[in-house]
Structure 1
Amino acid sequence: MTSFVIKAHENRVLPAAWNTAPDCPFCRIVRGESQSYALYEDDMILAILDIMPLRFGHTLVIPKTHVSRVSELPDEFAAQCGIAVSKVARAISGALQNTALNVVCNQEYAQAVPHVHYHIIPAPRPDDAPAPALASMPVPGPDTQAGPPQLPDVVADPREARDRVAQPLTEKEMHRREYELRNTLEEDDARRLMASVRALLGVAPQKL
């Protein structure tokens, strides 16, 4: 498990523009009450490594003011978020030698923390393990009978066909599936990546 030994912020006085919420985990990090692996910070934005990443290098870019919906984010914070996302994505790409990534911002649906945040998620590398759906497909062998692929049975009743169509996941199901894909960020890995990204950003090493 990751041990939180890195103190990112100490005894800071918050600017009036920072509207923080007492129970928000991101606001606690902004106020210096919780620790994080900080990659980048300016007057309006904080970028930290996700401690339960979907993939190694998964980063959160967070405005320091507490707003739950990106559609309600003040213009000055929205503009600075865009600048920070670009800077941090460039540094993560350089540190991981992988320019492929996703940038995502959820609003309400799929939003685990009700504080605006952008996810920067490095894409899998070409040499990563294949997806389970492909890896588990049977490989034809010498005893396998050749022939065309088997198609599903034709459904005569349109209502039955409709029932076979995948239904959209509920928000609870979506959160559960995402959680199952996540891994715990190891401290040594986090420190090495943090040092690399901060160096590429020209940011001083974080005091441990």
Structure 2
Amino acid sequence: MFCAVVAGAAPADVVADEPAGVAFLDVRPVFPGHVLVVPRPHLVVLTDVPVADLGPYFALVQRVAAAVESGLGAGGTFVAMNNRVSQSVPHLHTHVVPRTKGDGLRGFFWPRTRYPDPDAARACAARIRHALA
């Protein structure tokens, strides 16, 4: 579906069409002005993006976030990406959602928890650091 939008073969309210990607309005927005930014090639998750393409892609996301704020008079934006779990379309996409104080959106879209104790938090951090090495 997103590949067709990128190719111009499917209708979309496009807000940016650049070499790094295409940005268009979500057809089921959280709030009006909710934009999806997708890379041009069909990539499913963030880890599929070649390192050389990350900068240009996220520069586009950054510019879209600024444009959503200034263009809509939003107080800020919520920028999010799902990878596989809760990813409704299997094509990498970044949500840029306009926010205003008192808009009713509370925190993230999922329940928040706490670590059972500081040791559990440190162990989790260590596992991630190890995976980054």
Tell whether the structures are fold-level matches, with TM greater than 0.5.
yes
Deviations 1:53-106 (A, max 9, x none): 011110001001001111121123322111001111111100121232110011
Offset at residue 30 of structure 1 (A): 1.2
Q: Which residue of the partner structure matches residue 117 of structure 1?
A: 93
* SS of alignment partner, residue 119 of structure 1: strand
Given the two structures, how large is their TM-score scaled by the length of structure 1?
A: 0.48
Higher strand share: 2
1:70 to 46, 70, 74: 46
Percent sequence identity over matched residues? 28
Give 1:27-176 correspondences, 5 Å limit: 27-126=3-102, 128=103
Which 4+ runs in 1 deviate beyond 4 A? none
Q: Which has the larger radius of gyration?
A: 1
Aligned-partner Cα distance in 2 for 1:44–1:81: 5
Q: How many residues are aligned here?
A: 106
Asked whether the equivalents of residues 44 and 65 of structure 1 are also in contact (C-alpha less than 8 Å), the reply is no
Asked whether the equivalents of residues 75 and 100 of structure 2 are also in contact (C-alpha less than 8 Å), the reply is no
* Contiguous gaps of at least 5 residues in structure 1: 1-24, 132-165, 167-208
State the Cα RMSD in Å: 1.8
* SS of alignment partner, residue 85 of structure 1: helix
Higher relative contact order (CA 8 A, sep 6+): 1
* SS of alignment partner, residue 109 of structure 1: coil
* Contiguous gaps of at least 5 residues in structure 2: 106-110, 112-133
